[in-house]
Structure 1
């Protein structure tokens, strides 16, 4: 519409000039024919005035002014228009002055004569006649502008619908369809391959839907696994309770070996029962509070070695290098689980590969630095594959052995963090794998301190 306005302004001025020049041309041609006739018949005058719409026509040239035709004595002439001195800016200004001005009256138009007569043609016209012609032209321009606008609007609408609305509707339908069953990968939108912003939105939506579908599938597997673990945990607790009863009867056997091993068996079963109680608490919003005490770390490491049946002369040797007087401020059962998971993983990794000539050794060291106890568990196994190092402590992600669940290191990391400590894989220090655990002492103001 702005373009139409900019076109209309010079067009209406050009129409006004053309219309006035046409009237001057008709009058000039008639004057050239009748210039030699002293008297013009009234019929001819009337026809000439009708053709031009003027009320008076005169020819001014050679110092002589001749009246060609006149219908009646002209009234007051309100405006003089000299077409020989008309500029574009002046034509535009006078055009809008004519369109917007009110009232009637006469206008005198002066222009050069035709047919080589020389001089000027002078006609007097009603101003309303010029205004009516210009208004009719404006209406035609408006009608044409409306037609062009309708065509342009239709093309713009169709273009926007094809380029934007339809793709947006496709995105919306895909979102609604995906929302009905978000774990179904088949409901992920197929990008159209467009190279513009809409194509980029389709690709990003498809990527987001695939990621969300994979996450939901993973969560569903975890939920199914949690249900299975709950069922297994229920039956396992019953079996362990029966094993406890049988173990208590072993204490009545007089055999020295039985008397030495029976308490350890009962203690191991007690730990297993406690573990079954804590299985369902793993990963919940509230973990069971720690029962931190001062613990002789060397004795805990010794219990781990006995439970794993490892010694210096076995296929997998175990070296306890923790100083006898080393104390750690930790939950006894949880620090046992931490060390048990790491040592069991190391033993399983070493026994799965190589023959009898391969050195298989687990070493546990500890040192105190101020209020922090640093524990290192080293082995001579194959080490941690590089592909697993980035997700080593994530649930169900770090298992590299057949039959593993990938929960051991995740549980270990959670227990270490519960103590306010940290665990990391030490890289580049000898063969095998080496884990470093740092457990800080509790602050003096901790209400849980005994």
Structure 2
């Protein structure tokens, strides 16, 4: 019963996730709807900005027409001393005024009037009208003009001088302005809808649909990043959307390759752990056999047995490191003062270089050269680099080719520089950018590139660096190892260790340097 209760919710949740993966909007209003609403709002704001001067211009034109009609009638009737009531009524009806007068300087003549006009609430002088005044008076008419009386003044026409004045209720003007406003509003809505529709269709075609395609592809790719068929195919657009598609395709390709590589590494790690477990058991058995070999009276066995035991100890230590890989990084270096020349000789012994008939081994390190480093880790660094050099040198079959491997070192203050040089074919240019990255840089078929990656990690743990020098013959790796910094808070005599040894080395170097001069 409990399982039946949970399963429908799980299906519903999975459907909601899938629906979102298809590019549908997460909110109630998607990007398209927001674009449509914003377009309508902006167009309406533009129409409002147009409406303000338009309504003022409409009011001015309406009053000017009434004043013009009154001016024409006044010009015709100016010569008559008496105007009949019927003609006055027709003239007032044509202008919508309750009184018409002609003002010519000191003379003022009443042209028509149907009754005593009410008190004037607003005076509009069209002769001095400006834009600001027209806009303010227009909104005053719309708000307060229903019950007000207006007195309009305009210039007389038809060859007459002076001004024509009319007194009229403001309600007809307000009604006309409201009708004009409604027509403007309806026209604005039509323009807004048409413009918004065109903008909506254009933006949806240009932006929204490509963005939905990108979103849907990202959701689909996220379900199976290792599937190369789910990588987006750029549409070829030459704009920002096309650039985003190309960058997304590149990112998905890189991510897919990285995940594929990580899976391979995980599988490889599991296989190595299984093999390493059995190998450690075999090495333990070999150590037991060597213990019996050490008691043998054969002098050769007695001489070689300790070296074989030392090599097996290193191998056992490496197996432990392999089994712990992934749970922790390399063990921090246990730094000691070591003779670099002895470590180089140990590497040569393990690689069989002293007995080799094809490769010349040269240990150019000063026997008194001391390095502040972890002896085992420094051995691994030299071992990995020298092994690669030996493999490259053995790849040459021509007996006339010089095969030489040399190790040299020099000290500058607290910095030791080690160089490992060979006369092999050198490092190919194609693998140099990823030379110290595991599984990405191997010049030898079937190689993994782990040797240089491990060497680089161990050197960095000592605070140094390893680089491939640009040489014309063979390959030359330069390793720089700094001494440990001195603790200035402690007494200099009590520190001993590196500082005192370094002073001793400097004294020895000075004695060697001064010796010939004294002789």
State the TM-score, normalizing by the size of structure 1.
0.81
Measured after TM superposition, the shift of residue 233 of structure 1 is: 0.7
- Which stretch of structure 1 is more off in the superposition, 364-373 or 226-235? 364-373
Aligned 8 A contact 1:281 1:288 in 2:
no
2:358 matched to which residue of 1? Answer: 315
Aligned-partner Cα distance in 1 for 2:411–2:129: 104
Residues 60 and 207 (structure 1), Cα distance of their counterparts in 2 relative to 1, 3 Å cut: same
1:385 matched to which residue of 2? Answer: 428
Consecutive unaligned residues in structure 2, runs of 5 or more: 1-43, 499-519
Aligned 8 A contact 1:395 1:406 in 2:
yes
Provide the aligned length of Structure 1 versus Structure 2.
Answer: 448
Q: Helix, strand or coil for the counterpart of 2:405? A: strand
For 1:15-414, list aligned pairs within 5 A. Answer: 15-24=58-67, 26=69, 46-56=89-99, 70-78=113-121, 91-92=134-135, 94-101=137-144, 103-105=147-149, 107=151, 112=156, 123-251=166-294, 253-282=296-325, 285-311=328-354, 314-414=357-457
| 2:479 paired residue among 413, 420, 437 | 437
Structure 1, residues 418-442: CA drift from partner, whole Å, max 9, x if none?
33433332333x6222223334444
State the TM-score, normalizing by the size of structure 2.
0.72
Aligned 8 A contact 1:423 1:436 in 2:
yes
For 1:414-425, list aligned pairs within 5 A. Answer: 414-425=457-468
Measured after TM superposition, the shift of residue 228 of structure 1 is: 1.6
Aligned-partner Cα distance in 1 for 2:124–2:461: 99
Aligned-partner Cα distance in 2 for 1:440–1:124: 104
Root mean square deviation, CA, Å: 3.9
Aligned 8 A contact 1:20 1:109 in 2:
no
Consecutive unaligned residues in structure 1, runs of 5 or more: none
Residues 147 and 255 (structure 1), Cα distance of their counterparts in 2 relative to 1, 3 Å cut: same
Residues 125 and 293 (structure 1), Cα distance of their counterparts in 2 relative to 1, 3 Å cut: closer
Measured after TM superposition, the shift of residue 182 of structure 1 is: 3.0
Aligned 8 A contact 1:77 1:108 in 2:
no
Structure 1, residues 219-245: CA drift from partner, whole Å, max 9, x if none?
222222211211111122222233333
Measured after TM superposition, the shift of residue 316 of structure 1 is: 1.3
Residues 45 and 408 (structure 1), Cα distance of their counterparts in 2 relative to 1, 3 Å cut: same
Aligned 8 A contact 1:362 1:380 in 2:
yes
Residues 214 and 49 (structure 1), Cα distance of their counterparts in 2 relative to 1, 3 Å cut: same
Residues 59 and 230 (structure 1), Cα distance of their counterparts in 2 relative to 1, 3 Å cut: same
Aligned 8 A contact 2:151 2:165 in 1:
no
Aligned-partner Cα distance in 2 for 1:374–1:121: 108
Residues 203 and 256 (structure 1), Cα distance of their counterparts in 2 relative to 1, 3 Å cut: same
Q: Which has the larger radius of gyration?
A: 1
Measured after TM superposition, the shift of residue 385 of structure 1 is: 1.9
